[in-house]
Structure 1
Amino acid sequence: MLSILIPVYNYNVYPLVLELQKQCINCGIVFEIFCQDDASQSSLNAFNENINALSDCSFVSLKKNLAHRENRNSLAEQAKFEYLLFVDGDSIIIRDDYINKFISNLYDFDVVYGGRQHPEKCPSDNQKLRWKYGKFIEDKSATNREKKPFQSLLFNNTVIKKECFNQVKFDAHLKKYGHDDTQVSYQLSLLNATVNHIENVVEHGDIDINSVYLKKTKESLENLIALYEEEKIDVAFVKLIQLYHFLKGTKITFIISKIHSVFQHLLMKNLTGNHPNLFLFNWYRVGYLCAIDDKN
């Protein structure tokens, strides 16, 4: 019935798998839990190897890096069952009825998204940028997600029918971090897939430090531009691309790019510091998009 797929990179997922296995057994369903480390060569894999001793669970460490998207595609290809549950390896299960909640909401839908939440308190000042963006921008109730069902769809905590996933898959041509969910969600919208947003959140456990998240943000913006230029997403699907498309049409990306080059170090100082400002973060993202256009 259910294949639980966990992409792993340098993380101990044994506690996560143990909880998922327990809940699946309690629900009395047929299941498999498949974890695949993307050639991290991490010492934490010594803990992950213990997963292979659990019934209906397996862990594999790849010898060659696939990158996150292809790792997810690879997991899906090996899955045996009708429904695929993608769970990020750094997720923390906070509901005792997590699996049962998904099972109860599967039928008549192609995709079911449970949502995500961030801790109530930021673990450290050095993680505030990712934590703030997650908590105040990304974390949404099912009611709010339903207003834009495809734009609100992420694959950190999502069940999808295997036959539906096989029609979209993650774009393996994009190797950098970010917007893999955007591409798949857009493809699902073209298929008119049925999406159910429910309250079944997992907690985001491994929150990036500020400098790492800023680097990932730049990579994700580069991916977004690539999707836009290759016409793999519609302009109207992403607000940031809508804005970029407008600025490009009015021929002012060059001006914004130059302003960005003057102020980017001050912005980076704030964003990598102990008190990052989300308004400045948005300015940084728009400026960086225009800088990419200027280079092209």
Structure 2
Amino acid sequence: MLSICIPVYRYDVRPLVAELLRQAEEFPGEIEILVYDDASPDDGDWGREELRQTAGIRYVELSENLGRAAIRNKMARDANNKYLLMMDSDGWPNKGFLLTYFKMLWQLEAKNKFDFLFVGGRHYKKSPPASKYSLHWHYGHERESKPATIRNENRFLGFQSNNFLTTKSILLRHPFPEEAEGYGHEDTQWAQSLPKEEFWFFHLENPVIHLGLEPNDVFLSKQRQAIRNLALLKQQNLHLRTRLIDLVERYPRLTALAKHLPEKWMTNYLASRSRPNLLVLDLLKLKWWHTEKK
């Protein structure tokens, strides 16, 4: 019935696997759990030996790194069941996580609706972390942790690939775009390029807690990569929309201002404050966008 697909890179996924196996015992349908390691380097204890011996999962160690899009496409092809739950390795499910998704599947099968996309959402821990992780945590609370009612107001703009349920047939017909390299926005393009008449798309309240906070400097580096990827994907898909692209198109004077602001000052400010003003991050992204669009 359901295949849970978890790509892993330099992350110890053993606690998540144990929790999903526990919840699977209460799940009324058949479940398989796929854990694919995307060629993690030997620079940490990622639990490989224990995962190789864990019953109830299909654990695969890839010999070369495929990247965020290609590994999801591979897992979709390899999955045995018609329903796919795609999760990030650093998301922690709530106690009724799998049962909530089962109830949606049961309702859809009763109505003979077979192509769909459900997005469960993402939350962050309430208590602030150490200061070196404050930017990612603050950004997550302000920009990513939204209730389903808000996310449904603009369904395709707010898609997040860290926790979504769909059918294998959709991902086989419409795989994730593999053109971009590194981190960022391949999931944005994927969701917005799907033929909307083919399936039902809905955000629901079934969030995971995001555990994998990045240090401030790493978070900024990944945001920089994401802007580079976004510029590339925008060239290939002129209808692509994000919050940043909307800012560029609606407020050209803001973009003109951003390109003159010193990047070092903005990065130092964002990396050093416990609650930075995210407008500065927006301005920094606009500056990067201007650089990429030259």
TM-score normalized by the length of structure 1: 0.90
Taking the aligned partners of 2:26 and 2:16, their CA distance within structure 1 comes to 16
Taking the aligned partners of 1:205 and 1:68, their CA distance within structure 2 comes to 18
Instruction: Report the CA distance between 1:71 and its aligned residue.
Output: 1.1
User: What is the one-letter code of the residue matched to 2:171?
Assistant: F
2:236 is the counterpart of 1:230: yes
Taking the aligned partners of 1:243 and 1:147, their CA distance within structure 2 comes to 18
State whether residues 244 and 282 of structure 2, in contact with CA within 8 Å, keep that contact through their aligned partners in structure 1: no
Aligned length: 286
2:200 is the counterpart of 1:201: no
Instruction: Report the CA distance between 1:54 and its aligned residue.
Output: 3.5
Alignment partner, residue 29 of structure 1: 29
Taking the aligned partners of 1:280 and 1:245, their CA distance within structure 2 comes to 18
State whether residues 4 and 34 of structure 2, in contact with CA within 8 Å, keep that contact through their aligned partners in structure 1: yes
Alignment partner, residue 259 of structure 1: 260
Alignment partner, residue 64 of structure 1: 64
Alignment partner, residue 15 of structure 2: 15
Runs of at least 4 residues of structure 1 off by over 6 A?
A: none
Taking the aligned partners of 2:53 and 2:28, their CA distance within structure 1 comes to 20
Instruction: Report the CA distance between 1:258 and its aligned residue.
Output: 4.5
Alignment partner, residue 172 of structure 2: 166
Q: Which range moved further: 263-272 or 55-64?
A: 55-64
2:102 is the counterpart of 1:98: no
2:77 is the counterpart of 1:77: yes
Taking the aligned partners of 1:258 and 1:137, their CA distance within structure 2 comes to 23
Instruction: Report the CA distance between 1:43 and its aligned residue.
Output: 5.5
TM-score normalized by the length of structure 2: 0.90
Instruction: Report the CA distance between 1:64 and its aligned residue.
Output: 0.9
Taking the aligned partners of 2:165 and 2:92, their CA distance within structure 1 comes to 17
- 1:63-104 CA deviation, whole Å, 9 max, x = no partner? 1111111111111111010011011001112x2211000010
Structure 2 residues without counterparts, runs of 5 or longer: none
Instruction: Report the CA distance between 1:227 and its aligned residue.
Output: 1.2
Q: How does 1:87-166 map to 2 (within 5 A)?
A: 87-93=87-93, 95-106=94-105, 107=108, 108=113, 110-166=116-172
2:214 is the counterpart of 1:215: no
Alignment equivalent of 2:246, drawn from 242, 248, 272: 242
State whether residues 141 and 199 of structure 1, in contact with CA within 8 Å, keep that contact through their aligned partners in structure 2: yes
Change (3 A) 1:14 1:44: farther
Instruction: Report the CA distance between 1:49 and its aligned residue.
Output: 3.4
User: What is the one-letter code of the residue matched to 1:185?
Assistant: A
Q: Which range moved further: 1-10 or 57-66?
A: 57-66
Taking the aligned partners of 1:28 and 1:14, their CA distance within structure 2 comes to 23
State whether residues 150 and 189 of structure 1, in contact with CA within 8 Å, keep that contact through their aligned partners in structure 2: no
State whether residues 4 and 84 of structure 1, in contact with CA within 8 Å, keep that contact through their aligned partners in structure 2: yes
Instruction: Report the CA distance between 1:190 and its aligned residue.
Output: 4.3
State whether residues 115 and 140 of structure 1, in contact with CA within 8 Å, keep that contact through their aligned partners in structure 2: yes
Alignment partner, residue 175 of structure 1: 181
Alignment partner, residue 268 of structure 2: 269
Q: Which range moved further: 239-248 or 63-72?
A: 239-248
Taking the aligned partners of 1:6 and 1:258, their CA distance within structure 2 comes to 39
Instruction: Report the CA distance between 1:244 and its aligned residue.
Output: 2.6
Change (3 A) 1:247 1:146: closer
Instruction: Report the CA distance between 1:118 and its aligned residue.
Output: 0.7
Alignment equivalent of 2:191, drawn from 167, 185, 190: 185
State whether residues 82 and 162 of structure 1, in contact with CA within 8 Å, keep that contact through their aligned partners in structure 2: yes
